[in-house]
């Protein structure tokens, strides 16, 4: 019927649909067939309209349960600090803000609510109460004395999404500041277990919320004990960093200039012997002497090094020959001490090789068709061993990084090799690695004694497999490291490429040097006698009197008010200096390299007789045995505490330069190496 009578069918169907919609409209109250008076904000009682919300939202415009939607933004009804209020305490802890209705917690942040002083935001925390009506500003610092402060509130949103367009501002003024906050003392490095003596620094800060340079309380006095007893104002007074080298419980507190006293804190330091690479047995701390080495290693200078001559390792008989024929299937070697590349190979590894050190967990992977050549460019033929572990004491300072693994990869004859395709060294994580910390690889140049950070794109850190992968094209020593305790990047902007960078940074982190000015160390500046004396005294951890406490000086050209007077006095009392024959000290005169060496060796109490039999004059043509400085210089050269003079590129020259002025860079090298040698000998 609908096919034949399309118009009639359409009319009948439409009519039925309208009847159904109208019925649903009456039943559900939805305005499908809305009357003109529905949603006009006027309640038409004659039309049995009980309410009218003025809109068609939610379909409740003219039924008995209509709801007026919220279209009003939230307002600040009051603040716990009145507008223009004066004498607000600088130690105010909280400010409360009251709103006209519940607000959205997501709109409460430090962009929408700020507390400012001179247009600079202050440190605050924000908390919205359970009713969603009240925001509490918790102040994390004292307010500025006798000055104006302002609270700014904007973009606060209610639960319906309405946002206040106008910014709310509340201004108030503070009273004279009365300091009632005790200083907060932080010990660096923190409590923990260490493998060697630690230089402890105690720093007092103005409040518990800030621990940056700008908030150091220079007027606070710190007292401490090392035996776990309760410290008092009669306990040791902190005047500079000191060393802890055995199990100790440090307790400390501070008193500021107005008498506020902090609660005593504790820090427990324990010590244990570090794992010695390739060692079997080590004596207990603090001696930590290597007693026996693993098979294939020999004990030398308290370290286990590869014994190439050992009968335990016969590279010629025990090695495996690399395959000559090409294949893409890797050859896995795990039970042999070396790979033999014959002359027939002509330097080419024709098949992928995975060379594993099962005991150490390390492995080396070579790609197929890797060509190996020596320094002269000739094809390599010989024996290649897996990476061996090296000990950190064989190298200079670690400049703030903690060496987690030191690996040397080389052929048995020690030649430096080059690979035309990068090979991979895989280093497994051990319990020495700090989970989540940055992993960095360094290489070392023995000619300049400089560490160089390895290309980070060639260091792959796999946290799931618990391993570090190093991509390399030459043999050498690789230092896998992570930032040490309390590590922070050094601030000397003038030393990025200078040979003394690592040494100066190490002294700076120990609190012994600060630089000429902010960010400037000036490594090539000449050091005078007063400056070096101060550094020597601080390097050995000696305390000195303040200039106000001095009653006299030992030299006529060292005035009582001079900043260096306490250090010169202490050095004289320790027998480190004597002055010149005319009785003067000449503090402003540049110090010679040999003078600095003599003072430093005496300051650390090194036994120069230990170098008897060593002939430093064979290393440097300008060192003479009959000179007064010879015993000290001979000791320093034997232990590598100070290298020879350097050229502009930092390369060490065959001249020691006894009569040359000492630079700040050279001082940094001598100072940190002397400190580390003393720590080693103390063990």
Domain co-membership, 543 together with 605: yes
Q: Which of 35-39, 169-173, 237-241, 317-321 has the lowest mean pLDDT?
A: 35-39
Check whether 518 has a pLDDT greater than 90.
no
Domain co-membership, 420 together with 384: yes
Count of structural domains, the chain: 5
Check whether 675 has a pLDDT greater than 70.
yes
Determine the Cα–Cα distance for residues 383 and 336; give it in Å rounded to an integer: 11
pLDDT band at 32 (very low <50, low <70, confident <90, very high): very low
Name every residue whose Cβ is closer than 8 Å to that of residue 80 and which is 6 or more positions away in sequence.
94, 95, 96, 97
Nearest residue to 172 via CA among 147, 196, 155: 147
Domain co-membership, 355 together with 446: yes
In a domain, 492, yes or no: no
Structural domain boundaries, residue 597: 515-682
Beta pairing class for 303-306 and 113-117:
unpaired
pLDDT band at 421 (very low <50, low <70, confident <90, very high): very high
**φ and ψ at residue 9, rounded to 5 degrees:** -60, -45
pLDDT, residue 393, reads 64
pLDDT, residue 191, reads 93
Nearest residue to 623 via CA among 660, 649, 652: 660
- 295 forms beta bridges with none
Q: What is the DSSP letter of 25?
A: H
Q: What's the whole-number mean pLDDT along residues 400-426? A: 87
Contact 485, 494 (CB under 8 A): no
In a domain, 618, yes or no: yes
pLDDT, residue 390, reads 79
Instruction: Please give the structure tokens belonging to residue 211.
Output: 């621990």
Handedness of CA 89, 95, 96, 99 (dihedral sign): positive
Contact 403, 479 (CB under 8 A): yes
Average pLDDT, rounded, for the chain = 83
Domain co-membership, 608 together with 524: yes
Contact 451, 399 (CB under 8 A): yes
pLDDT, residue 66, reads 59
pLDDT, residue 106, reads 93
Instruction: Please give the structure tokens belonging to residue 522.
Output: 């000036």
Q: What's the whole-number mean pLDDT along residues 415-439? A: 84
> For residue 463, with 0-12 CB atoms within 10 Å meaning exposed, 13-18 middle and 19 or more buried, which class applies?
exposed
**φ and ψ at residue 196, rounded to 5 degrees:** -155, 165
- 125 forms beta bridges with 138
Domain co-membership, 673 together with 613: yes
Domain co-membership, 415 together with 535: no
Domain co-membership, 167 together with 188: no
In a domain, 125, yes or no: yes
Bigger pLDDT: 105 or 207? 105
In a domain, 45, yes or no: yes
pLDDT band at 315 (very low <50, low <70, confident <90, very high): low
pLDDT, residue 586, reads 93
Determine the Cα–Cα distance for residues 103 and 84; give it in Å rounded to an integer: 26
Domain co-membership, 18 together with 95: no
Q: What's the whole-number mean pLDDT along residues 406-413? A: 87
pLDDT band at 276 (very low <50, low <70, confident <90, very high): confident
CATH of the domain at 213: 2.60.40
In a domain, 547, yes or no: yes
CATH of the domain at 422: 2.60.220.30
Check whether 5 has a pLDDT greater than 80.
no
Determine the Cα–Cα distance for residues 541 and 567; give it in Å rounded to an integer: 12
Contact 631, 617 (CB under 8 A): no
Determine the Cα–Cα distance for residues 681 and 659; give it in Å rounded to an integer: 29
Determine the Cα–Cα distance for residues 7 and 95; give it in Å rounded to an integer: 75
Q: Which of 69-73, 195-199, 612-616 has the lowest mean pLDDT?
A: 69-73
Q: Which of 29-33, 223-227, 417-421, 611-615 has the lowest mean pLDDT?
A: 29-33
403-413 as b/e, with b when 16 or more CB fall inside 10 Å?
A: bbbbbbbbbbe
pLDDT band at 290 (very low <50, low <70, confident <90, very high): confident
Nearest residue to 555 via CA among 535, 580, 537: 580
Determine the Cα–Cα distance for residues 463 and 429; give it in Å rounded to an integer: 9
Picking from 138, 173, 208, the residue at the C-terminal end of a domain is 173
pLDDT, residue 60, reads 56
pLDDT, residue 465, reads 80
Q: What's the whole-number mean pLDDT along residues 78-98? A: 93
Check whether 70 has a pLDDT greater than 70.
no
Q: How many residues does the chain have?
A: 683
Contact 423, 367 (CB under 8 A): yes
CATH of the domain at 87: 2.60.40.1220
In a domain, 68, yes or no: no
Domain co-membership, 166 together with 189: no
Picking from 203, 238, 271, the residue at the C-terminal end of a domain is 271
Determine the Cα–Cα distance for residues 316 and 296; give it in Å rounded to an integer: 15
**φ and ψ at residue 576, rounded to 5 degrees:** -85, -30
What pTM, to 2 d.p., does this model score? 0.42
In a domain, 206, yes or no: yes
In a domain, 222, yes or no: yes
Domain co-membership, 532 together with 635: yes
Token pair 């190490």: residue: 506
pLDDT band at 10 (very low <50, low <70, confident <90, very high): very low
Domain co-membership, 129 together with 36: no
pLDDT, residue 275, reads 73
3-state secondary structure of 318: helix
pLDDT band at 490 (very low <50, low <70, confident <90, very high): low
Name every residue whose Cβ is closer than 8 Å to that of residue 222 and which is 6 or more positions away in sequence.
185, 202, 204, 237, 238, 252, 253, 254
Domain co-membership, 188 together with 167: no
Determine the Cα–Cα distance for residues 616 and 630; give it in Å rounded to an integer: 9
- 78 forms beta bridges with 98
């Amino acid at each position: 019927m609908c096919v034949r009578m399309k118009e009639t069918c359409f009319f009948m169907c439409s009519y039925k649909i309208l009847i159904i919609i109208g019925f649903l409209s009456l039943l559900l109250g939805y305005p499908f067939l809305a009357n003109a008076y529905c949603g006009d904000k006027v309640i038409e009682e004659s039309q049995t309209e009980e309410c009218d919300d003025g809109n068609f939202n939610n379909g409740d415009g003219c039924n008995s349960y209509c709801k007026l939607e919220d279209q009003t933004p939230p307002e600040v009804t009051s603040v716990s600090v009145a507008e223009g209020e004066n004498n607000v305490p600088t130690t105010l802890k909280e400010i409360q803000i009251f709103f006209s209705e519940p607000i959205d917690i997501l709109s409460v942040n430090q962009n929408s609510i700020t507390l400012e002083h001179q247009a600079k935001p202050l440190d605050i925390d924000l908390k919205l109460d359970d009713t969603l009506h009240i925001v509490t500003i918790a102040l994390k610092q004292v307010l500025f004395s006798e000055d104006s402060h302002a609270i700014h509130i904007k973009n606060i949103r209610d639960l319906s999404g309405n946002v206040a367009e106008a910014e709310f501002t509340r201004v108030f003024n503070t009273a004279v500041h009365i300091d009632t906050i005790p200083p907060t003392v932080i010990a660096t490095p923190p409590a923990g277990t260490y493998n060697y003596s630690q230089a402890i620094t105690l720093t007092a800060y103005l409040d518990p919320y800030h621990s940056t340079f700008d908030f150091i309380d220079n007027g606070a006095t710190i007292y401490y004990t090392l035996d776990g007893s309760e410290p008092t104002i009669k306990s040791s007074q902190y005047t500079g960093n000191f060393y802890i080298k055995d199990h100790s419980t440090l307790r400390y507190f501070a008193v500021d200039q107005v008498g506020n006293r902090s609660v005593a804190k504790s820090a427990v330091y324990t010590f244990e012997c570090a794992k010695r690479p390739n060692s079997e047995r080590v004596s207990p701390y603090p001696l930590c002497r290597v007693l026996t080495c693993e098979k294939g290693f020999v004990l030398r200078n308290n370290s286990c090094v590869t014994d190439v001559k050992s009968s335990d390792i016969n590279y010629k008989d025990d090695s495996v020959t690399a395959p000559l024929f090409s294949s893409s299937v890797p050859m896995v070697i795990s039970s042999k001490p070396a790979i033999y590349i014959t002359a027939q190979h002509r330097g080419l590894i024709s098949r992928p090789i995975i060379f594993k050190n099962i005991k150490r967990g390390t492995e080396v992977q070579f790609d197929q068709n890797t060509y190996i050549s020596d320094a002269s460019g000739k094809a390599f033929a010989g024996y290649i061993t897996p990476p061996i572990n090296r000990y950190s004491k064989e190298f200079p300072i670690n400049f703030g990084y903690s060496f987690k693994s030191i690996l040397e990869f080389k052929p048995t004859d020690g030649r430096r090799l080059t690979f035309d395709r990068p090979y991979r060294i895989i280093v497994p994580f051990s319990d020495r690695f700090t989970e989540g910390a940055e992993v960095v690889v360094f290489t070392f140049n023995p000619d300049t004694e400089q560490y160089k950070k390895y290309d980070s794109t060639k260091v792959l850190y796999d946290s799931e497999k618990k391993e570090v992968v190093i991509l390399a094209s030459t043999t050498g020593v690789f230092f896998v490291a992570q930032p040490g305790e309390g590590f922070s990047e050094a601030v000397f902007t003038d030393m990025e490429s200078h040979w003394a960078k690592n040494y100066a940074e190490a002294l700076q982190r120990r609190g012994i040097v600060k630089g000429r000015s902010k960010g400037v160390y000036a490594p090539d500046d000449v050091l005078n006698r007063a400056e070096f004396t101060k550094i020597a005294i601080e390097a050995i951890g000696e305390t000195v009197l303040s200039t106000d406490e001095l009653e006299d000086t030992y030299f006529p050209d060292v005035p009582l008010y001079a900043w260096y007077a306490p250090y010169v006095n202490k050095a004289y009392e320790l027998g480190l200096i004597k002055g010149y024959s005319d009785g003067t000290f000449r503090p402003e005169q540049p110090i010679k390299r040999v003078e600095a060496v003599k003072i430093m060796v005496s300051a650390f109490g090194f036994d120069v007789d230990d170098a008897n039999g060593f002939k430093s004059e064979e290393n440097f043509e300008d060192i003479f045995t009959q000179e007064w400085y010879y015993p000290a210089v001979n000791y320093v050269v034997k232990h590598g505490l100070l290298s020879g003079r350097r050229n502009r590129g930092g390369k060490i020259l065959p001249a020691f330069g006894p009569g040359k002025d000492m630079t700040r860079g050279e001082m940094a090298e001598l100072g940190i190496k002397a400190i580390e040698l003393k720590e080693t000998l103390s063990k």
